[in-house]
């Protein structure tokens, strides 16, 4: 075949394919009605996290303000109620304790356990830390246990040390 004939055939096939794709049915199924859900913290970009303070659930805002929680909220796949009850996926419930802090995704902090960095979740659940994390105050915690405070100082975590979601460092008790 000649080059002109080959190019002509390719051009014809290509234009036919484009015409066929354009002619395909582009109608969409009718939109399903949206399910009503409680507001998720991450849907409210001004919400940084939740905290139990003086027996009440408080909402911590990105602008530094803290206000009383006015309605149940979602934190990741967990429902957090105004009384501090956290209902997890699967139905298990736990109660937030005084001073507990939770980020928008439900993370409560990180800890060094057995030389490994672990994430902490409600109900004393832990999981391997998969990536470096930034806490609510800007403190950065690395997978190797190095902690970079927002003021630029750094330290290395030891077994039993934890950094709460709000960036508070809690050192393990000396044995």
Does a structural domain hold residue 16? Answer: no
What pLDDT was estimated at residue 64?
Answer: 82
Whether the predicted pLDDT of 44 surpasses 90: no
Ranking 36-50, 63-77, 121-135, 143-157 by mean pLDDT, the lowest is 36-50
Whether the predicted pLDDT of 24 surpasses 50: no
Are 112 and 149 in the same domain?
A: yes
Does a structural domain hold residue 27? Answer: no
Is this prediction's pTM over 0.85?
Answer: no
* pLDDT, mean of residues 95-113: 93
Are 92 and 113 in the same domain?
A: no
What is the domain count for the chain? 2
What pLDDT was estimated at residue 45?
Answer: 56
Are 89 and 121 in the same domain?
A: no
Does a structural domain hold residue 122? Answer: yes
Residue whose C-alpha is closest to residue 47's, from 74, 81, 84: 74
Are 175 and 111 in the same domain?
A: yes
What pLDDT was estimated at residue 38?
Answer: 43
* pLDDT, mean of residues 126-130: 95
Range of the domain at 89: 37-103
Q: What is the pLDDT of residues 45-71, one digit of tens each?
A: 577 899 999 999 999 988 888 999 999
Are 47 and 97 in the same domain?
A: yes
Are 118 and 169 in the same domain?
A: yes
């Amino acid at each position: 075949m000649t080059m002109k004939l080959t190019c002509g055939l390719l051009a014809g096939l290509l234009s036919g394919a484009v015409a066929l794709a354009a002619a395909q049915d582009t109608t969409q199924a009718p939109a399903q009605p949206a399910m009503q859900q409680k507001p998720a913290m991450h849907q409210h970009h001004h919400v940084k996290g939740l905290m139990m303070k003086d027996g009440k659930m408080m909402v911590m805002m990105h602008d530094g303000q803290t206000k009383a929680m006015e309605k149940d909220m979602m934190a990741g796949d967990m429902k957090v109620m105004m009384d501090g009850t956290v209902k997890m996926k699967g139905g298990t419930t736990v109660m937030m304790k005084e001073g507990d802090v939770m980020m928008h995704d439900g993370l409560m902090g990180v800890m060094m356990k057995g030389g490994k960095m672990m994430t902490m979740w409600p109900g004393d659940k832990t999981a391997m830390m998969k990536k470096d994390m930034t806490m609510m105050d800007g403190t950065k915690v690395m997978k190797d246990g190095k902690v970079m405070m927002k003021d630029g100082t750094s330290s290395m975590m030891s077994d039993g040390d934890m950094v709460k979601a709000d960036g508070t460092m809690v050192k393990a008790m000396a044995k």
